[in-house]
Structure formats: structure tokens, C-alpha cells
Amino acid sequence: MISKRAFLQGAAGAGLSIFGTGRLTAAQPELTYPTRSVKWVVPYAAGGATDVLSRLICQRLTEKLGQPFVVENKPGAGSNIGTQAVIASPADGYTLLLTSTANAINASFDPTLPFDFARGIAPVAGVARIPLVLVVNNDLPVHDIGEFIAYTKANAGKLSIASSGIGTSLHLSGELFKALAHVDFTHVP
């Protein structure tokens, strides 16, 4: 079994290969970026997967590019506080944002946001892909997705599905599953 740290280091290494190609190669003499420290804003609390991944990436970028890449955690409002701070900062490449599906979800759900995410952020590189997985209690008498759908239909409204919160990718994927499979269960954030 792979440890969480080993997984995150591997994910960071995969993401770094994107940064280490093309124009962002320190060996190219015409490259002048960065000439000073770069702030990497993580719109989540310190200690979570996004924070650890960011710190690993920033450590490697600091080593490769010769300037400090500093993680700054700005959690709150479902990632909107950190996102707004980056959008309000100068568009000079010295304040970066680690985005996630939460940013797209927030922009689609809340037309009153004080920023336009699609116009205020320019994508630079993908650093990780996180798959979502449906898991069930071992006591549930199902062994594959077909059996799960049949069981859910036979027990309509009696099952629940958990997520990390309303409007999260986990919640929305559960709702999409309900719609596509024509099943009914209760969402428990």
C-alpha cells in the first residue's frame, strides 16, 4: 500500500513535469521569470491535501527557478476568499492560485460573487487529477455497480450518500449519479 506522503510526492512530481518544460526551464538564458518571490495561494486550510501538494510543488519550483515560491493559505467561503484575493492582485505572474472544481462550482451556483472567475484567472498548468470513487459499506449486499443500482431502486429513498458538503464535487457527482441511474437516495453533507 502506498503512503499518503508518497502519493502526494508522486502527484507533485507529475505536476512539476508540466512546469519543467517549455518556457519555464531555468536553463534557457532568455528566461527572466521569476526575478523575485512568488506567492502561491491555496484557498483552503493548512494541513490538507491541497496544502501538502502545494508545498511540495513550491519546494521544487524554488529549487528549479531560483526564487522562493511561498505557500499562503487563504481558506474560507468555499475557496472564494483566496480566489478573490488572487483576482484582485496585480496580473504579473507573482501571485498564483491553486484552483479546484470548487471554483467552477462556485461560479456556476453564485451569480453574486464579487469576481468573475472565468475572466479573472488564466490557467497555467494542471498539477493533479483527483478521481472520485463510489464506495459502500461491506454489509450492503452488492458487489458491482449494476447490483448497487438494482438495490437502490428496490430500496428507493431508504439509502443515503455522504459528501464533504453541499455543492462540492462529491455532492454534485452523487446527484449526477442519481439522475443518470434513475435512483433515489438522501444526500447527507
pLDDT digits (tens, 9 = 90+) for 137-177: 999 999 999 999 999 999 999 999 998 888 888 999 999 99
Positions in the chain whose pLDDT score sits under 70: 1-31
The set of residues, in sequence order, having a beta carbon less than 8 Å from that of 20 and lying 6+ positions away, is 64
pLDDT for 166 equals 83
> 134 in a domain, yes or no?
no
> 138 in a domain, yes or no?
no
Q: 66 and 154 share a domain?
A: no
Q: 62 and 12 share a domain?
A: yes
**Of the candidates 46, 44, 49, which has an alpha carbon nearest to the alpha carbon of residue 15?**
49
pLDDT for 8 equals 41
pLDDT for 165 equals 84
> 113: buried, middle or exposed (CB in 10 Å: 19+, 13-18, 0-12)?
middle
User: What's the domain range around 150?
Assistant: 145-188
